[in-house]
Every structure is written in C-alpha cells, then in structure tokens.
Structure 1
Amino acid sequence: MHTITVIVPAHNEEEGLPATLESLARQTVPPDRILVVDDASTDRTGEVAAAHGATVLRPPRNLGSKARAQNHALPRCTTDLVLAVDADTVLAPDYIERILPVFDDPGVAVAAGMVRTRHTRTVWERGRSTEYLFGFHFHRPIQALANSPMVCSGCCSVFRRDALVAFGGFPERTIVEDMDYTWSQQIAGRRAVYVADAVALAADPENLTYFRKQVKRWMAGFCQNVRLHAGPLVVRKPLLALWVLLALFEIVTAPLWWATPFVAATTTGVSPPAAAAWWAGADLALTVAPLVYAARRRKLPLAGVLVNIPCAYVTKAVNVVYAWKAMVVELLLVPLHLARGLTVYEKGRADTPAGRRGTDRGVVPVGT
C-alpha cells in the first residue's frame, strides 16, 4: 500500500490556500502528511496553513522559486510518494485515489492528471480554459498512448520519492521544473504517466500582466529544456523528441498561419472577408471536435465550452510572441553567449492584494 506526503509551496497565498488544503482534506484516500512551505510570506499564509492542520515549514529567507521551496520540504518526506500541489490548485476528491494505482508499476517515476481552469471570468482565463481542454483531450492522450507525455503538470504531480531524491530533488537548473523532470526520467528509462480521470483545477492569470509573465516563463522553460535535453531525447526517447520537434515546428510556422488570410487576400484576388472566413473555418475545423469531445467527457455545458473559443485566439497571439522570443533567446543567443536567458521565477498570478495593483513578487535568480 502506498503512502504519500503532499508538498505545497506557498508565498503570500492566504487567499487561495484554504481551498487547496480543504480539497486535500476531502480526498477519498487522504495523504499521510501535508507540508506547507511558507516561503517568506508577508501575509497570513503560515497561520492559515497551520489552522488547516498542515505542518508549516519556514525557510530563513525567500527561496525564489517553486522548485527550491519544494526541495526545502523534501528531506521531511518519509513516504514512498510525494504529491506536489500549487497553493492555488484544487484537487478533485478522488485525485489521489485515481493516481496511486499507476505506481504499482515500479517503472513509473512521476504521474499527473488533467488540469482545468478554476475560473472562467476573464478573456485570459477563458482562453486558457480552451487551451487546457484542447490539449488534455487531443495532444495528451496521443502522447500517453505512445508512452511519451510531454509534461506531468507541476501543479498536481505525484513523484516516486526514491527516484526524486536520487535525481537530486526537484530540478532547479531550468525555469520549469516539471518539464525538466518529466523529460529527464523518460530519458533515464523510467515512465511518466498521464491519468486522465484525475482532475485538478488551477487558478490561471486574470489579466494580461500576469498572463504574460506565465507564458514568458513557460515558453522560456520549454526552450531551456530543448537546449538541455535535445541530444539525449533523440537517442533514448525518440517519440518524445518527435513531440518536441512538432511543438517547435508549430512555433516556427505560427506567424505564417496567422498571416494566411492577408496573404491570400493580396495574392489570389479573394476578398479579405472571404479569406478571413476561410481561415477561421479551417482553424475551427481543427479545434471544435476535440472540444466537443472534452465537453462530453467532462460533462461540461457544450455552449459554455464553445463560447470561449474566440478568447483562445487572444491567448494564442500572446503565446506566439513569447514562444518566438524564447526560441531566439534560449536556443540562439544563449548558446552564442549573447544573452543569459530567463533566470528568475515570477508567478503568473498576483500573490497579494497589492500585487493585483501591479506590484510583482520579489524573486531571486534561479540556477541555470
């Protein structure tokens, strides 16, 4: 029988933390222990965690990244499994119950479920909701069938503790520790598993300021992992290398796709409205089917899912800008020693009431 410890890294999370801890308390298979790393919070994060029965760990200073906060707690984990949960993520009551059986296979090093957005109030949350539903019901199942998931989401991943400790803990060398570990373990011959029936709800950026920060970090981290792992992936995990190559191809060709209606209108004599309609129709044909399936699979109102599609074009535009920036900086300028790349961890969401007025979290460099 598996035992499991939960690590919740938290910096100024007194608002969102209660829902996270309450979701852990409602688990049909309760965790053996919950460790909340109060990472130099200036609000009541520690008090809130203690009031919910968690063990509170307080580093002497702000550690500067989620991976470092998780590593601060790792020596206190004595169970065979470790569940890392973000302080703004709510797990379905059966999340742990759904995840545990995959670890009966000793070759499994890490596993995670699907992620949905907790809120769909703003354009940015609605767009991200569409991205999640599409990705977790199209890309991720295909990758899972090929035993090559691109990433086990860091907001809700379960790790085999012995493998994690042997690796040196949560990786701090890139800006996205979840992808780094997922790729590293598969390169080493271990399995990463996607558990579709385990559901986690994450709080996503509410405005452009924080959406931009999150996308910047995700895209830079992806390219850092490409730089770090490309060779070993091709040799030891070619199917995963194929997904990575396809993702890079999508980044490279995205501007061409966005420019298609304008090019068609100027070179073929087709009217601009007709060119735009053709472009939108072709894109929707590729998008709608997985979203309809996702709505049925998750018992979501279909109209509510489809009405969010236009918002996804707004978020995709931001994704393209920062994906290209990350590709140029991390894959070209950094190897040429012309840039350092992204080395600070910034959350994609405000962490204090003051932060919602535009104050960023204090951060320190992350090792590269």
Structure 2
Amino acid sequence: MTVLIPAHDEAATITRCVDAVRASTYPVQEIIVVADACTDETARLAREASATRVVETGFQDKAAAQNAALWDITTDIVVGFDGDTWPDPDCIRLMVEHIERDGLDATCSTILPAQGSQVPYSRPGLRGRLEGAFFTRSRRFAYALGRRWWRLCQAKVGRIQVLTGACYAFRTKAIHDIGGFPSGLITADMDATWALHGAGYKLDYTGDALAWTMDPEDMRTYRSQMRRWSSGYYQNMARHRSQLKNWRSLLVVGGAILDLVCLFVIEAYLIHAAITGSNPGLLRTFLFWTGVHTVVSVGLVATVVGIKEAVLGVVPYTLVNYYNKWLYLTGFIREWILGRHYASWTGRQGRKTVITPMTWSRRMGLTQISISAGAALALTGMWLLDLSLIQAGVITACAAPLAFLPRRPTGKRRGRHQARPRPRRRRRPSRRLPRWTATGR
C-alpha cells in the first residue's frame, strides 16, 4: 500500500499528515508527497518529515498533481490524503480491510473538522474564534449526519456521489484503468468517483475509518469552497450525464436536485401561510415533523461526536444548510441554465475566482425564451381579463432579457470576460519645425 499526498501551500499541516501516516497500524510501503505550485516550505518540511519521495510540480491542479506520481505506484492499493488532513491510527487499516473483505475497488473514510477537536482555532480574537466555531460545528454536524445517514443510504443504493478527496483508498489497477485521475473539472475527487462508476467498479463507504481535516473558519473562505463544490457537482453531472440512465444514479442525483428545487418553493408557501393564517393545520404538521427531524438528527450525530457537540451544532448546521442550498441553487442556474462555468480552484489559499462568460447563442436563446414566456403570460391575462397577469407578462417580456445582456465586469469575478485595459495611444511626432537661433539651433 502506497500513500499519495497532494499538497498546495500546506506547510502548517504537512508534517502532521506525514507523521500520522507513519503512525498507522497498517504497514505503509511508501509515502509520496506531491507539492504542487507551492510558494511556501511544504516540500522541504515533507522531506524533513521523512516522506519516501517528494515530487514538486507546477500544475495548479489536484488531478494533474496526483497523476504526476500515480503511474510510478506499483503496490496493490493507493491511499490518498489531502495535505491538510491526517488519519487516525486505524484509518488506513479499516479502509484496506474493507476493500479486501468485500471485494471493493475504492472506498473513503469519515472526515471531521480538526479545529476545536485536534487543533485550536487559527483565527485570533474572540470574534475569530466564535466565527470559526460556528462554521466548523456546522460542518462537523453535517459530516457526522452523513456518517449515520445519507452516505449510508448512497452506499446501500450503490451510488456513492463522491469519494471524499481528503481521505480515500483505490485499488491501483482500477484508477490506472480509467486513465488516472480525470482532469479538467474543479472537483477532481467527484470526477474520479463517477468515472469509476461508469467503468463498472464497486465503490463503498468505510464509516468507521476517521480522518481529521482543516475546514474553513470564516464566511469568505467557506463561501468560496461551497461555490466551487456546487459548481463542480453540476459540471460532473453534465460530464457523466449518460450514467443518469441508471436507476441508481437517477435516484441519488434526481432526489438531491428535486429536494433542492422544491425546498424554497415549499418554504415560501409555508411563510405565506403563516403570515396570512390560511392553513394552520399545515403549519402545525410542519412544525411537528420538523421537531421530530431535529431530534432524530441530533441523536444520530451524537453517536459520532457526542451529545454536547450535537446540541451545539444543530443551530449552526440548520442556518448554514439553508445557505448551502441557496449556493447549490444558484450554482444550478449558473452552470446548467446560464452556461457560466467555474474554472478555478478556489479555497483556503485565496486563489481568484474565474467564471467563464455566457456564450452568445445561449444568451440569445434565453432572451427569446423569456420574451415568449412574457408574451404568453400577457396574452393569458388578456384572455382571462386579469390585469395582474398582463402586468407580469409585460414586465417579464421587457425586463427579463436585460439579465442576459453582456455586463461590464466588476473585477470580483475574473476570467476571459474581464475587460482589458485600453492600450495607450502613441504620441505622433510633432511636425513643427525646430526653433532656430542666430547661432544655428
């Protein structure tokens, strides 16, 4: 078994990662650290931590960085950790035993945020610690709930949506057979997962294995990561859309998207019912089942992280989960409807976001659809003599196309659509004759 660790500017954690791998209860033949486009001491610290081999690359791409070392690996199994992640002593052993026992081709472990459990919060001051606790407790609750619920459901159906890139294990032959880690998308781990699904390999989830990872501790970093994850989800589904013909894939992906789209519609209706008092029975039913859902969720999470963390995490998780749903909904609109794709690896390192512009054909198509929809709505209002429908139709037909017109970039989202600075005009040479003096010049 070989451990492969891709890292980008992970000087703060790479030593802990390598040391934890060496302390594993399962024998490790080789530890390869791929320091990709690092501007700090990641490579040097990895060598000092006694990594078997350190490969320095400049791809700025996780999949390409892993492939730089993948083809030299000849052991039966390759286990991967991100440079900001480290395993419990039994983590590797549990994943390898699961692969061997059940004849799997790939699996992944449970991961939990390290801040607040393994390491202190990194942001200084009371506000920094509170903000860090809010986001890491939210993520800890979500990961623990996945451990006891949604990841187990996906494994039972036979369609793990994503093998966690922070901690995974593959049969080397399986990842070699699909041509290595697929590149070109901003979520390489999900791309590799669905490539293995498409090739007919057997994937599962090793919930008892545990690794610790550094999670975002502030709103800006969290938002950047979640926007990348949401865009990567839809990019992967577009690339592997042929697999959605399989009922297992359709059940997992279709259920997730249906839940996402319906969530805000149902919530809007419930808020309207609460304000107008039009359906008190529905509100009582909703509140009852929301309470049941909360109690069951806290109970499941408590079996993973303890009752204290479960109780403290339920409110942050609920609030952040609504925000996540909103980001996934906007990602759905941006990626699949507007055709504007994330094209940069953003995260804790602070890389700039790159979003491709909308194509002219898509812009024209959406404009025609919105004008037609507005006209149809206005005609329906005329037929029914409904002034509100007529007004809505006119507004849709006139205002909606403006949303698809090219806009001047703000500078926050940079890409090929960014306005280039105007070239400076060359000054023409003066045609005036030089002034002559009595001495000649």
The TM-score range, normalised by the shorter chain, is 0.7 to 0.9
Task: State percent identity of aligned pairs.
Answer: 28
Residue 357 of structure 1: aligned partner: none
- Residues 65 and 363 of structure 1 are in contact (CA less than 8 Å); yes or no, is this contact kept in structure 2? no
3-state DSSP of counterpart to 2:208 = strand
Matched residues in 2 for 1:228 and 1:157: separation? 22
Query: Is the 1:147–1:192 contact (alpha carbons within 8 Å) kept by the matching residues of 2?
Result: yes
Bigger Rg over Cα: 2
- Partner SS for 2:180: coil
Correspondence for 1:361: 351
Would the aligned equivalents of 2:235 and 2:335 in 1 still touch at CA under 8 Å?
yes
Q: Is 1:253 aligned to 2:262, yes or no?
A: yes
User: Given residue 343 of structure 2, which amino acid in structure 1 is its aligned partner?
Assistant: T
The answer to whether residue 146 in structure 2 is matched with residue 156 in structure 1 is no
- Asked if structure 2 preserves the Cα contact closer than 8 Å seen for 1:8 and 1:36, the reply is yes
Long gaps (5+) in structure 1: 352-359
Q: Pairwise mapping of residues 32-47 of structure 1 onto structure 2 (< 5 A)?
A: 32-47=29-44
Which of 89, 95, 109 aligns to 1:99? It is 95
Match in the other structure for 1:302: 307
SS of residue paired to 1:240:
helix
Inter-partner Cα distance in structure 2 for 1:287 and 1:151: 25
What is the aligned partner in structure 1 of residue 374 from structure 2?
Answer: none
- Inter-partner Cα distance in structure 2 for 1:122 and 1:281: 29
Please give the alpha-carbon distance, in whole angstroms, between the structure 2 residues aligned to 1:314 and 1:81.
40
Q: Could you say which residue in structure 2 is the equivalent of 1:80?
A: 76
Conserved? CA contact 1:133–1:291, under 8 Å: no
1:344 pairs with 2:355: no
Determine if contact 1:291/1:305 at 8 Å carries over to the other structure. yes
Aligned match of 1:355: none
Q: In the alignment, is the contact (CA less than 8 A) between 1:86 and 1:156 conserved in 2? A: yes
Instruction: State the 1:169 CA deviation.
Output: 1.0
Change (3 A) 1:322 1:362: closer
- Indicate the residue corresponding to 2:316 in structure 1: 311
2:12 corresponds, among 10, 15, 37, to 15
**Residue 30 of structure 1 corresponds to which residue in structure 2?**
27
Alpha-carbon deviation of 1:161?
A: 1.3
- Distance 1:287-1:140 versus aligned 2 partners, 3 A rule: farther
Conservation of the 8 A alpha-carbon contact between 2:344 and 2:352: no
How big is the shift at 1:225?
Answer: 1.6
Deviations along 1:318-361, one digit per CA (max 9) or x if unpaired, are 21222112111222222xxxx3x0111112x2x4xxxxxxxx23
Q: What residue identity is the alignment partner of 1:36?
A: V
3-state SS in 2 of match to 1:193: coil
Amino acid at match of 2:311: L
CA deviations 1:184-227 (Å, max 9, x no partner) are 21222211110111111121110011101110111111111221
**Distance in 1 separating the partners of 2:156 and 2:244:** 18
Over residues 50-98 of structure 1, what are the superposed CA-to-partner deviations in whole Å (9 max), with x where a residue is unaligned? Answer: 1111121112x3x122112111121231212111101111211111110
Q: In structure 2, the residue corresponding to 1:174 is in which secondary structure?
A: coil
CA–CA distance in structure 2, aligned partners of residues 257 and 309 of structure 1: 21
Give secondary structure in 1 for the equivalent of 2:105.
strand
Match of 1:58 in 2: 56
> Do 1:345 and 1:365's aligned partners in 2 also have CA atoms closer than 8 Å?
no
Residue type of the alignment partner of 1:37: V
Partner residue in 2 for 1:354: none
Secondary structure of the corresponding residue to residue 74 of structure 2: coil
Unmatched segments (≥5 aa) in structure 2: 117-131, 357-441
Q: Is the 8 A contact 1:153 1:178 kept in 2?
A: yes
Give the residue type in structure 2 aligned to 1:255.
F
Tell whether the 8 Å contact from 2:109 to 2:207 is kept in structure 1 after alignment.
Answer: yes
Structure number with the bigger relative contact order (C-alpha 8 A, sep ≥ 6) is: 1
Deviations 1:140-159 (A, max 9, x none): 11222222222211110111
Deviation at 1:7, TM superposition (A): 1.2
User: Equivalents in 1 of 2:235, 2:309: separation in Å?
Assistant: 36
1:149–1:240: 8 Å Cα contact kept in structure 2? Answer: no
Counterparts of 2:33 and 2:291, CA distance in 1: 43
- The size of the alignment, in residue pairs, is 339
TM-score, normalised via structure 1 length: 0.85
**In angstroms, what is the RMSD of aligned CA positions?**
2.4
> What does residue range 282-301 of structure 1 map to in structure 2 within 5 Å?
282-296=289-303, 298=304, 300-301=305-306
Q: Which amino acid aligns with 1:329?
A: R
Conserved? CA contact 1:117–1:125, under 8 Å: yes
Map of 1:128-147 to 2, 5 A cutoff? 128-147=139-158
Query: Is 1:90 aligned to residue 86 of structure 2?
Result: yes
Q: How far 1:246 sits from its partner (Å)? A: 0.7
The answer to whether the 8 Å contact 2:5/2:32 transfers is yes
Cα distance change on mapping 1:264 and 1:24 into 2, 3 Å: same
| SS at structure 2 position matched to 1:98 | helix
Between the aligned partners of 2:193 and 2:81, the Cα distance in structure 1 is 16
